[in-house]
Amino acid sequence: MNQLAAEYLRRKQEEAGHRIDPAQFQQELQKTKAYIALHNVYGVDLNSTAVELAEISLWLDTMVTGLSAPWFGLRLRRGNSLIGARRAVYSRSSVKDKTWLKAAPEKVNADSRDPQSIFQFLLPAEGWGAAADSKEGKNLAPEAVANLKDWRKSVRTKLSDTKTNGQIGRLIGLSKQADVLWEVAVKRLSIAEAESRRTIGVWGFEEGATGTTVTRSEIESKLADPNGAYQRLHRVMDAWCAMWFWPLTETEIAPPSVEEWIDACEQLLGRPTNESKSAKTARESGQASMFDVDNWAELNEFEDNQRVLSGAASTVEMVFEHHPWLRVTEAIADQQGFFHWDLTFATVFERGGFDLQLGNPPWVRPRGDVEALLAEGDPWWQLAHRPTEEKKKERRSTTIALPGVAKLVLDGATDVVCTAAFTADLTTYPLVAGTQPDLYRSFMEQVWQHASPNGISGLIHPESHFTDDKAGPLRREAYFHLLRHWQFVNEIVLFDISGHIIYGVHIYGNRKDEVDFLTAASLYHPMTVEGSLVHNGDGPEPGLKNEYGEWELKPHAGRILRVDRRVLRTWGEIFGIDDARSIDDVKMVYAINGATARVLEKIAERDSLRGLSPQFSRGWDESIDRKNGRFKLGWGRAEDWGDSILQGPHIYGMNPFFKFPNSTLKNQMDWSAVDLEQLPGNSTPVTGYKPIRDGNYDQLYTHWVLSSGERVQARDYYRVAWRKMAANNGERTLIPAIIPPRAGHIEGVRSFGLPELNACSLLLHAGSLSSLLVDFVVRTSPKNNIVPSTVERLPAIGAEHVLAPSVVARVLLLNSLTDAYADLWNSCTEVKANGESWTGGYGFPESVSMEVLDSDWTERSPLRLTADRRQAQVEIDALVALMFDVTADELCSIYRTQFPVLYKYDTQRDHYDQNGRLVPAEVVKTWQKLGNAATDDELSATNAQGFTYTYAPPFATFDREADMRTAYAEFEERLAEREKLSSQETGGSES
């Protein structure tokens, strides 16, 4: 409001050609703000206290000399802005054939409505009685659920269309009568707004006349009159919404049949009168027509006469006596605060809609938390530490038996179910239907509907719809509405929420013919956008953090990217989409600057893993399958790999033995790192879950079907496993490792195999997935979870590439830590030491030589030294970049700009000693303080597994960027040599 007022005065002064006296400017600004606040500001909040505070805030911010206490009651309202009825209709044919139950209605106004159409809020809805789908309802009130389902089924039946009892005809008549009442309501609100106007004296603006004949109390009284047109229409809309929320705890009054519903609507609204008869009656009684009514008193008289002529009940109480179920809907509506935008703000939509909408919608998914509800009666549900399913089941019965708890749980759980049903139904929010309900998404759809033809909307909300597989329709519309898109990460805590929360500022206009908007990603402060929009483009493009490890706020023209159809096509190539229609709803790719966008274009040209037909495994569901008795909580080392159930912390960066759970099993952080140097060659993992061997464990785990039709167990194969949870802002995001046959895992780990390809193919693509560049591709379209659809669209390395064996060799060295990998090692006979060596002259006294590749697997074959493992991964990163035609400069730019945590660890945290071991932080600190005076004891540390090492100074960090450049240059030379040799061999064979 402040900005609008200031902008108005700026433009008006330019238009007028002269300036406001500086001494008077603040006064003129206050008057302009006051005018806007009184006549143009609208708002809705479910919390009535919030509405009152908004009124006070507006008053305090717009106080101006001569203005008495303002009234915002017509425009600031209490209500649930997402749940309400609309001025939308179904055709007579869709009602006749019942397709209206599963179709979106058509939005109309008074002039565009087909007279044979029927308003949505007059028809039964598929979502009525949504509480019947509540899981808690089935447990706590099975009879009530059965009754509600029976009723729901009865109101979904085909409506009659006969002359004697034509329900469809009566509903068409009701729609005509609703039009009449709507016009009365619009006229009532128009007069109310005109009569409540204030003359402010805005500079350079000719204001409308101030009302003089109707008082505020008269306006409030008439709009609240239960027998007036506005409230009768409002009551029917409330009742329609309330039917979605009919409670399972209501056992005395039954919901209405279709016939009772129509009868109640007719009593509340009346029936349409014969037009000629109505005109004659009006003429004979000296009454004006609706279009001639222009004052409050005439409207009162017209409204009373219309109610009588239509045959509506003279008082609402009479309708309640005939239909007691309306009292239930009244109570539901009062509690839920249904808000009917098209009616309550009818004058706005008569003018075409809102010109400017601003909002920060709820970042909430309507999900039930039954344990929180149970905790209202018994705190044990919040205090108990990881109770077993048996203990929960036992305690639940006791808690539910406490006074009032069953009703509390039932009402609380079903309320969430009903809200979710309404906000994601095809008939109410068609663009959100089919996705997991998320209230901000429903707000997006609603805001677009409420905008005027030239309206602009600005919303701050999450961005999951840009990467959600099921949110295609909403994403498509977002692209066509977007004008500006600024994605923020809350790292500097602009909002009092977690620093890892991602959200966006979205500026929407009306739907355009073509996608065309500006975007910037990974922002931390608005000033970055402001500066970038006017930056000249000089200097290097910044990344996520600056050279001091601080979140990068520096502006640069390269931060602002334009998204059009060409960019959508590139995104489509990254996701393996080539269909023109599908490109319109392709998932968003977040490029932080122009350089990253160019790298993405290169990677988009690569074939994807999907072309290899990978077979995926979800593993065990940690909750459901545990409840179903597939496994149980139990700490200890697995007797063999067949008894292992791996969790996310078990794997990290080509290391299937990264961490083991501690025996205390306190939480997901209660794990300790594994010392690979001391890991026995026949070791199996320590796990926190144990199989229940009842004959079903092996049979019910993932099976795959081969091209031959043979059904095989996934656990019979080596697989690439990765952590499902995406650490989008962590050291790495995609975290894979190879797991051996017989190993199982929970769904917090996902895996895939290539059962019809050789072992080297699996190793090659594991290496690709472990690389910095492929990880970067995952980061550019962040999601909470990395699912198979994400992995299969990632770029793949061609097996025929002459550098492919070099990738395979390093992956084999990194993963083959125990004899469970001996078969994998020994089967890759084409991987030889010839032509393989560490780049840059790398090596420590105990480093593993590439010569081990020529022998069968032994305990000394794999890379166990931390520095060796780091070097192998650096070389994989360089190899993959070279094979993807990404330059060393581009690779290093991606490293610096996209992986700030890894960069920080490389440059500040991770120090290595002269033997290639990673030095504990406390030892580094001691050495930095004491230098050569440090004793062996002071340079020693015992790790979590009880092994003690004395670290050899001096300690140093490694330069990953320099190492990648060195590796890249050497592999370029090897590539040229191998291609030359291959060409000579090919030429020789041809001759």
User: Residues 770-782: pLDDT tens digits?
Assistant: 999 999 999 998 8
Decide which of 595 and 208 is more confident. 595
Class of residue 426 by CB neighbours under 10 A (exposed 0-12, middle 13-18, buried 19+)? middle
Distance between CA 393 and CA 378 in Å, rounded?
Answer: 14
Q: What is the pLDDT of residue 501?
A: 87
Long-range CB pairs of 859-864 (<8 Å, 24+ gap) are: 859/680, 859/681, 861/813, 861/816, 861/825, 862/813, 862/814, 862/815, 862/816, 862/817, 862/821, 863/813, 863/814, 864/676, 864/677, 864/679, 864/817
The rounded percent of the chain whose pLDDT value lies above 70 is 97
Q: What is the pLDDT of residue 843?
A: 94
Average pLDDT over residues 382-406: 87
Highest-confidence segment of 66-75, 824-833, 867-876? 867-876
Phi, psi dihedral angles at 40 (to 5 degrees) = -130, -5
Residue 954: is the preceding peptide bond cis (ω within 30°)?
A: yes
What digits encode the pLDDT tens for the residues 688-721?
999 999 989 999 999 999 999 999 999 999 999 9
Query: Residue 935 is encoded by which pair of tokens?
Result: 């004793």
Residues pairing with 673 in the sheet = 659
302 contacts: CB under 8 Å, gap ≥ 6: 184, 287, 288, 290, 293
Amino acid (1-letter code) at residue 226 = P
Average pLDDT over residues 238-246: 97
Distance between CA atoms of 70 and 55, rounded to whole angstroms? 9
CA distance 61 to 612: 64
The answer to whether residues 523 and 529 touch, using CB atoms and an 8 Å cutoff, is yes
Name the DSSP class of 129: T
**What SS3 state is found at 390?**
helix
933-956 pLDDT per residue, tens:
999 999 999 999 999 999 999 999
Report the DSSP beta bridge partners of residue 482: 508
Q: Residue 394: CB partners within 8 Å, gap ≥ 6?
A: none
Burial class (CB in 10 A: 0-12, 13-18, 19+), 621: middle
Residue 234, classed as helix, strand or coil, is helix
Phi, psi angles (nearest 5°) of residue 238: -60, -45
pLDDT of residue 386: 77
Q: Residues 414, 247: contact at Cβ < 8 Å? A: yes
Q: Can you give the pLDDT at residue 279?
A: 52
Tokens of 118: 């029927």
Neighbour tally for 908: CB within 10 Å = 10
Q: Residues 779-798: what's their mean pLDDT?
A: 91
How far are the Cα atoms of 180, 249, 507, 599, 771 from residue 602, in angstroms, in the given order? 62, 60, 30, 5, 16
Taking the CA atoms of residue 372, residue 375, residue 381 and residue 382 in that order, the dihedral angle to the nearest 10 degrees is 70
Residue 227, burial from CB neighbour count under 10 angstroms (0-12, 13-18, 19+) = middle
Question: Could you tell me which of 951, 796, 989 has the C-alpha nearest to residue 866?
Answer: 951
Instruction: Say how far apart CA 780 and CA 591 lie, in whole Å.
Output: 6
What does the pLDDT look like over 472-502, one tens digit per residue?
A: 999 999 999 999 999 999 988 888 888 778 9
Whole-angstrom CA distances from 803 to 529, 854, 890, 968 are 42, 18, 20, 12
Q: Which pLDDT does position 283 carry in this prediction?
A: 41
987 or 384, which is more confident: 384
Report which of 766, 751, 755, 769 is spatially closest to residue 647, judged by C-alpha positions: 751
| Torsion-angle region of 808 (φ positive above 0: left; ψ -120 to 50: alpha; else: beta) | alpha
pLDDT tens-digit readout, 433-459: 999 889 999 999 999 999 999 999 999
165 has a pLDDT exceeding 90: no
Q: What is the pLDDT of residues 560-591, one digit of tens each?
A: 999 999 999 999 988 878 676 678 999 999 99
Q: What angle do CA 689, 694, 695 make, to 5 degrees?
A: 115
Confidence check: pLDDT of 282 > 60: no
Q: What integer is the mean pLDDT of 92-113?
A: 93
The pLDDT of residue 990 is above 60: no
pLDDT, position 288: 47
Confidence of residue 881 (pLDDT cuts 50, 70, 90): very high
Query: Tell me, what's the pLDDT at 286?
Result: 47
In whole angstroms, what is the distance from residue 861 CA to residue 867 CA? 15
CB count within 10 Å of CB 578 equals 10
Given a cut of 50, is residue 520 above it in pLDDT? yes
Mean model confidence pLDDT for the chain: 92
Output DSSP code: residue 852: G
- Report the candidate in 79, 170, 160, 166 with the shortest Cα–Cα distance to residue 118: 170
**Residue 545: closest CA among 496, 619, 489, 585:** 489
Instruction: Give the Cα-Cα-Cα angle 942, 944, 945 (nearest 5 degrees).
Output: 90
d(CA 541, CA 561): 12
Q: Is 749 helix (H, G, I), strand (E, B) or coil?
A: strand
Structure letter (DSSP) for residue 536: -
Q: Are strands 451-461 and 615-617 parallel, antiparallel or unpaired?
A: unpaired
State mean pLDDT over 62-81. Answer: 87
